[in-house]
Amino acid sequence: MEGNNNKSINMIQLAKELGLSISTVSKALGDSHEISASTKKRVFELAAKYNYKPNPFASNLRKKKGTQIAVIIPEIVNHFFALAVDGIGSVTMEKDYDTLIYLSNENPERERAILSHLENGMISGIIISVCSGRAGYTHFQEFYERTKLPIVFFDRVPDLLQFPKVITDNYQSSFDGTMRLLKSGSKNPLFVSPEEPLYTSLERRRGFQDAIRKFNLKFREDMLLELGEDAGVNYMVIKKILSSKKPPDAIFASTERNVITSYQVCKDLKIKIPQKIKILAFSNLRTATLLNPSLSTISQPAFEMGKEAASLLLKMIERKSYAAANDVIVLANEMTIRDSI
């Protein structure tokens, strides 16, 4: 029984009060060239007076398109993704697009459900960082076939050639990082990555392996460690490895999450960094410099990646250059050596 009366004014009322036709008002509001300056002025003024805002449902329905994009990411509680969302927001906001956010929580089923939900036509495009490779990538193809909506992948990208991507030079920076570890004396490094068969991780691993070989070290399978989702389990696994007879003398972590766990284990086992073990990680931790000891990182230009992805997507949406659809934008990572090496 709430009085939700005084609901906003509409075009009809504006037109009536102005003694104009509704279509004239519509055109005036759209700043159409076929309306006289004086009429426009009158319309704008009355609209402002009533704080009139066109009903987006009606206008979107009529135009068969809106101004919302969806961002799908595995998690937001992660400095990298938070920065990326910030970057995305910086361009969508400027271009008057609204940003819907969906968290897949590293769950492929969620990701599919989100995609399916988005097939209703509410949005004009998608920016996504995928959550896993295990379930395959067919849902992206299918989504695209059905909706023909522009999609831009970033960071964690599937290996689908037909889609535009924004990534970093994962192979090269991993190679460089590994070389750096080896040059500082590591003979037995351990590369820690998530078990998902993600393009990003695979590229980093490839860089690691190639550096090992390039350095004329013998590559062994047990130089690679794959970790799952469960932080508790991961902790135990790392602890076991670091307590073994021939523990690694360096850890190169492919993700922020893994390096935090590694630090924790070293702290608990009182293993000195970098004396006993050197640590390097792909990470955007803001507090890298304050850790004990300060952490050497390869950080991704997350904000920039978000910006690039959003710019590309909006360009595609506005068809200014749909040809850009197969672009792969590669940005450079930045390695910062601190006390952990």
Partner DNA sequence: GTGAAAGCGCTAACAG
Partner DNA sequence: CTGTTAGCGCTTTCAC
Q: In the complex, which residues of this chain contact a second copy (CB under 8 A)? A: 2, 4, 6-8, 51, 53-58, 60-61, 64, 66, 68, 75-79, 82-83, 85-86, 89, 93, 98-103, 119-122, 146-148, 260, 263-264, 267, 285-287, 289-294, 319, 322
Identify which of 332, 336, 315, 333 has the alpha carbon closest to the alpha carbon of residue 324: 315
CB of 239 to DNA, least distance (A): 55
Q: Which helix (H) or strand (E) holds 226?
A: strand 224-227
Q: Which does 48 bind (CB under 5 to 8 A by kind): a second copy, DNA, none?
A: none
Is 264 a residue that touches DNA (CB under 7 A)?
Answer: no
Unique residue bearing structure tokens 């523990």: 247
Classify the phi-psi angles of 224: left when phi > 0, otherwise alpha if psi is within -120 to 50, otherwise beta. beta
Return d(Cα 198, Cα 190) in angstroms, integer: 19
Partner from a second copy, DNA, none contacting 184, C-beta within 5 to 8 A by type: none
**Binds DNA by CB under 7 A, chosen from 1, 6, 37, 319:** 37
Q: With binding defined as CB under 7 A, does residue 39 bind DNA? A: yes
Residues in the chain: 341
Q: Is 23 in the site for DNA (CB under 7 A)?
A: yes
Part in contact with DNA (CB under 7 A); list of ranges 21-29, 202-210, 278-286, 288-296: 21-29
Window of 31-39, 100-108, 128-136, 154-162 that interacts with DNA by CB under 7 A: 31-39
Residues 6+ apart with CB under 8 A from 260: 285
Q: Contact between 62 and DNA (CB under 7 A)?
A: yes
Considering only 3-11, 123-131, 192-200, 292-300, which stretch makes contact with DNA by CB under 7 A? 3-11
Torsion sign, CA atoms 137, 141, 144, 145: negative
What would the x/- binding string for DNA be over residues 211 to 230, using CB under 7 A?
--------------------
Q: Does 162 bind DNA (CB under 7 A)?
A: no
Q: Which of DNA, a second copy, none lies near 27, with the C-beta cut-off 5 to 8 A by kind?
A: DNA
Near DNA by CB under 7 A: residue from 26, 92, 299, 311:
26
Distances (CA, A) of 82 to 219, 256, 286, 302, 305: 36, 13, 12, 8, 12
* Nearer Cβ to DNA (43/130): 43
Long-range contacts for 158-164 (Cβ within 8 Å, ≥24 apart)? 158/130, 158/133, 158/199, 159/199, 161/326, 162/325, 162/326, 163/325, 163/326, 164/312, 164/316, 164/324, 164/325, 164/326, 164/327, 164/328, 164/329
Tokens coding 114: 């989100």
Does the protein bind DNA through residue 124 (CB under 7 A)? no
Contact 154, 127 (CB under 8 A): yes
Relative orientation angle of helices 256-269 and 231-242, to the nearest 10 degrees: 50
Q: Among 16, 17, 21, 233, which residue sits at the site for DNA (rule: CB under 7 A)?
A: 21
Binding site for DNA (CB under 7 A): 7, 10-12, 19-24, 26-27, 29-30, 33-39, 54-55, 58-59, 61-64
